[in-house]
Structure formats: structure tokens, C-alpha cells
Amino acid sequence: MTAPRYPGFDTLALHAGQRPDPVTGARAVPIYASASFCFDDSDHAAALFNMERAGHVYSRISNPTVAVLEERVAALEQGVGAIATASGQAALHLALVTLMGAGAHVVASRALYGGSHNLLAYTLRRFGIETTFVNPRALDEWRAAIRPNTRLLFGETLGNPGLDVLDIPRVAALAHEHLLPLLVDATFTTPYLVQPFAHGADLIFHSATKFLGGHGVAIGGVLVDGGTFDWVGSDKFATLSAPYEGFHGMNFSEESTVAPFLLRARREGLRDFGACMSAHTAFLILQGLETLPLRMARHVENTRKVVAYLAAHAQVASIQYPELPDHPDHALAAALLPRGCGAVFSFNLKGARAAGRKFVESLQVFSHLANVGDAKSLVIHPASTTHFRVPDHELAAAGITQGMIRLSIGLEDVDDLIDDLARALKAAQKTS
Amino acid sequence: MKLGTQPALFAYTGGKPFDPAKPCFVFLHGAQHDHSVWILQSRYLAHHGYSVLTFDLPGHGASDGPALTSVEEIAAGVAAALAPLALDAVLLVGHSMGSLIALELARGIDAGVAGVALLATAAPMRVADALLDATRAAPDAAMQMINLWSHRAGIAPFAARPGNPGPGFNIVWSNLRLMQRIAQRNGAHVLANDFAACNNYRAGLEAAHALRAPALLVLGSADQMTPPRAAADLIAAIAQPKTVVTLAGTGHALMAENPDGVRAALLQFAQRVFASKPAVAMA
């Protein structure tokens, strides 16, 4: 008899959250394209509405296909549960508004995806939520930025686009020292490369549009609760530990010791803000998730070869990938990301801005577009696209130069990727 | 609400104010757990004409006091918390360690006992020496082992339906996090205390024989901790009318793996044993 053990990661990626359909025998996850679900009788209806029984009522709140995705990602992250959302941005928004309201404060890494930066720096400020941005590598900055009204620390496992590696154990310890949770955007790493809960993070979100789906055909997000944070003990989160008038006086912390955050996020956040994921989208993302382990391994393998090629190329001024010895987070990456540092990285071309433009326009296999984490290789110029609203001084502070090129390495034959880059580098060289 | 003083025990009342006039369920959780393992069953019953007192046992969750070291002491603590309420009759429901506490409580409380429901149970409830040692020497590893054995083997618990407490939750990691939270909040010693209390309790068959009320036993066909065969002596010892419900494909964590099956069994039993004091119609 073998020793008892949990199913492995690859098995969970294929099976968690689903068993063959009991009615039809369907092995694949069916798309339950139904806005609502029939009640057995009036008592069943009332019990579902009142959280006395588990089940589906209306697809804005939950849906059988979407639940498979939620439970699969939760299984892979070792979280107590998850909520799938209309986008990664919606997942971040759902986390924030579940935890805080006007008058609250967030401490966030400065090396954020531009969309996250916009939400925190501009939009939420209009609603009374302020954010202080800090150098993710400077623990003293994190510490100094915490105020009495701070409710969250937030960073990315790999900062976008500079690939700053978030020191999750140390930032989480600092957060917990102040009775605050740490939220991590793990889009670039996926649970295959790092499981942030194991290092101290309390909440995780993904843009599922990227590596989780892997095919670039659907927009979605997933918010995962580690079940590790003591919301009652913190005494800073009345939304989770006091009766909620909006749900018959429910005290979410009495209903669930480990998952009051998810209960409130679903019963208030999805109910009222409504940024739910559709069943079709969940199905599409599930198709990708099934092969996540295989894809991530190949993404990393290809990336290492491309990085090695570029690092040795005369036209490349610098390259930022944490596995390179000169990256400031090299040692930290080795500790937190032993399977690899993902497939998105940036480098600086020698020459003027025109060289960068020529390089991007000369690529044939790489697609010039605003996305990452696709099975196909992608390229973009952050300063003129994802971060175009960010002032120059903030760009510089985030380590983004005007000539920076961001690549997302796909699953093609790596020799074809290197040939494509070689042609484009040669074309760019002619402009200088 | 908090009940009693030495120690004061937290009891979840199902999302409604406690009404002593209604027939009352008393829920007792198992080792390294708290009231939240009963959430779907207790919330449903509280909204269907019953009162519920879903306890955090002494030294667990939000209840005061140290975690007690014997089933007898824990039962006495719960009895003391119940005494001021002067309830006419209660239906005691216990899971695993809680089932032993229910047996002991049934002969130690002043209130009339309308029935006793024993879930995932065995008497005696022996714990392997290696696991007992692990709960003391390596509680983190012990919790991982216990979490594995608490669910049906294999992939099935990672796709539990209908979900607990709802869709989108993972019952396996939720159970692990709950055990870890109890350790964090109430102390690393709780795990060893609880498992030793189960292992050392020798009066289970005697208490079962002394029952003066009907009994319900809810067992999981895929229970790896207290398999149905382990309940045979206990079932035989019960002289009162008894009902055995075996939930197919269900592991030790019955309430999470099969919340509807447990709810239905409890409701049917309650309707029978509270026949003289029926549930109060919903307002």
C-alpha cells in the first residue's frame, strides 16, 4: 500500500473541480450556458438564497462551469476557494472593495502592471482609497508607508515589466506584523512556478487571460483566498467580522472561520458590482489550464534559450531576467522560483527610439500586441503602450526606459524565435 | 453568543437569535475543529423551526479556556454552558470526537435528551500510536496526515458537490486551513489534546448502553478515519431505537463532503424525536 498523499499538481490541473457529468456522462466540462437554475421547490429556493444550502441560483453569483474553474485554481494554489471574474482587473477590484472603503489606504509595489497602477493611483483615489507606491525591493519603504488606515499590502510575484521578484516571505511578515494581509498578483508565475500562499501571501489574483488560459482567446480573472489571514484577530476589517446589514445581518466570520473574505466577495462583490465570468469564458480557460504544467515548462525552457541568445548579442544593451547572475533579485529568484522565472521579460536595445520601432516592426513570428502569456510569442514597447499614461519620472522609478522591449516567449520552436529575433535585430541595427 | 462562565463557550446560533422555546440542536465538532464545520446543517435547521447551539468546544475557536484533555471534562464544560438555559429537550449531534462528547453529555446534562446523532464515530476511538506521537512531536505534519485521512481517498474531494459552504470552495484545503487556524489561535497543543482525549475515552460503549433516547448514526462509506465497521460495537451497545445511515462515497468529513446527505438525515431524525415538540413554523 502506498503512503497517503494528495493528488499531484498535474492531476489537479486536469481533474480538480470536476467529475464526469452524472446525467450525461460527459467527460469534458460542460458549458452551462444558463442564466439561472431551477429550484426544487420554494423551500429549496429560500435555502439557497439564505446560504443554508449550497448550489446555484443565478450565474452572476455562481455557475457550474465557472465553479469548476474556481475550484481548480483553488486546488492548484492550495487556497480555500476562488472567485472567477470578468477580467484580472475585476479580480483586483473585487479584492480591494471587499476589504475597504473610502478612507482606507493601500501600500503597493511601484512595479505594477499599468492597469493596476491606474486603478490604484487614479480611479480608486476618486473613491477615497489612497495608495502609496514603494520600491518593491526596499522593505523599509514598505514599512514606512504603512499608516493606521492601511488595509492591504500589494505586489506582483514578478513585477511588470522589470521582473522585480517580490520577496513574499519578508513582505508578508511585515504585513502580518501590522495585522494586514498581503495580496499578490501571480499572473506571470502561475501556481506552477510559485505558490505564494506557501510563502506567506494571504490573497492571490491572476489575469486568467494570460498563462492560465494560454491561448489568448478569453478575458478573465481569478481571485483566490488562502484562508490564512485572521480577519477577526486583526480587528481592522469590519466588513468581514461585523454583522452586514446588506445580507440579513450576516457575520461572515461566524459563517466561515477561514473564508469570510470569499463569502463577502461573492455575496456582496459579485452580487453588487457584477463583474462575473461567463460560462463560455470559464470553459475556454479550463481548456488551457489542463495543460498548464506542460506549457509552463516549455515556456521557461524556450525563454532560457532566448535570454541566453539576447544576453550575448551585441545590439542588446541590457536584459532583465532574474535567472541572469547580474539581476538584482537573482538569489531571491533561485529561492522562490526554482522552476523558472516565467516567460515574460524585457531588454534594452542599443540605439535610439527608432531602433526599437524598427525592431518590433521587423519581427514576423512574434506578434506585436498588448498581451502576455499566450502560446504564441508576443512583443510590445511598454513606454508607448501599457504604461503610456505613466509620467516619465514614475516610469524611471519603475525601471522602465524609453527603449525597453518586452517579450512574451511562446511555445514555438525556439530556433524559429531566435531566427526571428536575429532578423529584427539586424534590421534595427541598420537604423543607427 | 457566549454561554457559561468557566469557561465561556461560543455557540453559533445559525444566523438567528437563539430561541429557547424551540426544539434545540446542540452541535459538537471534532478534533482540531470549530463550529464552522457544521455551517450548512446548523444554518438550515435554524431557519426551519429549530434552535441551534453550534459550539466551539473549550479552548477551540472563539471559546475561552484551555483545551481540555478528556472527553469527560469537555462534556462537563458543555453541560455547564448549557445549564443556565434550562432547555426542555435537546438533540445532541457530534462528529468524530464530538460524537464521544455527545455520548458522555447525554448522561451528564439536566436537560432532557430527545435524541443523539453520532457522525463518523467509533467506540472505542483508538488512535494509532504513530499518529499520537506525531500530534505531539510534529503537529504540522500530523495535520497534513489527518487532513488526507479526513476525506475520501483520491481526487473526489477536490470536486466535492454541491460544495461547502458553496460553489467555488475547496473542502480539502479549507479543512487544513481550519486545523492550522486552531493551532495558531488556540495553541499547538490542542491537536495532541484532542487526539489523546479520543484515544483515552473508554466509556463509550457504557455511555451508549445507558442512552435513554433514540440514536442516529451517520457513517461515511469511504471514511478512512472511522470506517463503518469501526462503529459496529457502538451500534450493538445502543439499546434504544437506532437508525444507521451510511452515506455512499463519503469520507470522514461528512458535513463538507456530503452536506445535503447529513442535513437530510438530521432533519428526518429530528422530526421523529421531536414529534411531541415539533419545529416551529418559519416566521
Which string of DSSP letters, residue by residue, matches A310-369? HHT-TTEEEEE-TTSTTSTTHHHHHHH-TT---SEEEEEESS-HHHHHHHHHH-SSSEES
The residue written with cell numbers 506578434 in the block is: A367
List the B112-119 sheet strands across, edge first.
B2-3, B9-12, B51-55, B24-28, B89-95, B112-119, B215-220, B242-247
Check whether residue A283 and residue A303 sit in a common domain: no
Check whether residue A137 and residue A236 sit in a common domain: yes
A16 and B145: CB-CB below 8 Å?
no
What is the span of the domain harbouring residue A334? 292-429
The percentage of chain B sitting over the pLDDT mark of 70, rounded to a whole number, equals 98
Check whether residue A106 and residue A212 sit in a common domain: yes
Residue of B nearest to A80 (CA): B174
How near does any CA of chain B get to the CA of A15, in Å? Answer: 7
Enter the ipTM: 0.95
- Taking alpha carbons only, the member of A298, A430, A427 closest to residue A364 is A427
Q: Which of B40, B158, B173 sits opposite A79 (nearest CB)?
A: B173
A80 and B159: CB-CB below 8 Å?
no
Q: Which of A11, A80, A84 sits opposite B169 (nearest CB)?
A: A80
Contact A191, A293 (CB under 8 A): no
How near does any CA of chain A get to the CA of B187, in Å? Answer: 15
Distance CA A334, CA A157 (A): 13
Check whether residue A296 and residue A167 sit in a common domain: no
How near does any CA of chain B get to the CA of A53, in Å? Answer: 6
Distance CA A107, CA A100 (A): 13
DSSP 8-state assignment for residue B88: S
What pLDDT is attached to residue B281? 57
Contact B14, B52 (CB under 8 A): yes
Distance CA B200, CA A76 (A): 38
Residue of B nearest to A202 (CA): B177
- Each residue's pLDDT tens digit, A22-81: 899 999 999 999 999 999 999 999 999 999 999 999 999 999 999 999 999 999 999 999
What count of other Cβ atoms lies within 10 Å of the Cβ of residue B266?
27
B155 and A7: CB-CB below 8 Å?
yes
Residue A41 located in a structural domain: yes
What pLDDT is attached to residue A430? 84
Q: Are strands A378-380 and A404-408 parallel, antiparallel or unpaired?
A: antiparallel
Check whether residue A44 and residue A172 sit in a common domain: yes
Torsional sign, CA A306, A311, A315, A317:
positive
Q: Which of A51, A233, A266 sits opposite B43 (nearest CB)?
A: A51
Q: Which of B161, B169, B180 sits opposite A81 (nearest CB)?
A: B169
Which chain B residues have any C-beta within 8 angstroms of a chain A C-beta?
Answer: 12, 15, 34-36, 39-40, 43-44, 47-48, 61-62, 145, 148-149, 153-156, 158-159, 161-170, 172-174, 177-178, 180-181, 184-185, 224, 259-260, 263
CA quadruple B169, B174, B175, B178: dihedral, nearest 10 = -140
Model-level pTM?
0.96
Check whether residue A134 and residue A257 sit in a common domain: yes
Residue A2 located in a structural domain: no
Check whether residue A317 and residue A208 sit in a common domain: no
Residue of B nearest to A231 (CA): B181
- Each residue's pLDDT tens digit, A121-133: 999 999 999 999 9
How near does any CA of chain A get to the CA of B208, in Å? Answer: 31
Domain B2-273: CATH architecture, name and number where available: 3-Layer(aba) Sandwich (3.40)
A15 vs B contacts (CB less than 8 Å): 155, 158-159
Mutation target among B25, B151, B169, B262 for the A interface, most CBs of A within 10 A: B169
What pLDDT is attached to residue A1? 42
Residue A3 located in a structural domain: no
Distance CA A109, CA A188 (A): 15
How near does any CA of chain B get to the CA of A354, in Å? Answer: 49
- Which of the listed residues A233, A266, A288 is the one where a domain comes to its end? A288
How near does any CA of chain A get to the CA of B240, in Å? Answer: 31
Q: One digit per residue, pLDDT tens: chain A, 432 residues? A: 457 799 999 999 999 999 999 899 999 999 999 999 999 999 999 999 999 999 999 999 999 999 999 999 999 999 999 999 999 999 999 999 999 999 999 999 999 998 999 999 999 999 999 999 999 999 999 999 999 999 999 999 999 777 999 999 999 999 999 999 999 999 999 999 999 999 999 999 999 999 999 999 999 999 999 999 999 999 999 999 999 999 989 999 999 999 999 999 999 999 999 999 999 999 999 999 999 999 999 999 999 999 999 999 999 999 999 999 999 999 999 999 999 999 999 999 887 777 888 899 999 999 999 899 999 999 998 777 777 777 777 777 767 777 789 999 999 999 999 999 999 999 988 876
Check whether residue A37 and residue A135 sit in a common domain: yes
pLDDT at position B276 over 90: no
B36 vs A contacts (CB less than 8 Å): 255-258
- Which of the listed residues A232, A262, A288 is the one where a domain comes to its end? A288
Kindly indicate the confidence band of residue B275, based on its pLDDT and cuts at 50, 70 and 90: confident
The three cell numbers locating residue B55 = 459550539
Q: Are strands A344-349 and A404-408 parallel, antiparallel or unpaired?
A: antiparallel
Torsional sign, CA A284, A285, A290, A292:
positive
CA A57, chain centre distance (Å): 28
Which CATH number is A345's domain given? 3.90.1150.10
Domain count, chain A: 2
A55 and B165: CB-CB below 8 Å?
no
Check whether residue A266 and residue A414 sit in a common domain: no
What pLDDT is attached to residue A2? 56
What pLDDT is attached to residue B283? 40
- Which of the listed residues A288, A308, A338 is the one where a domain comes to its end? A288
CA A332, chain centre distance (Å): 20
How near does any CA of chain B get to the CA of A212, in Å? Answer: 17
Residue of B nearest to A15 (CA): B155
B166 and A52: CB-CB below 8 Å?
no
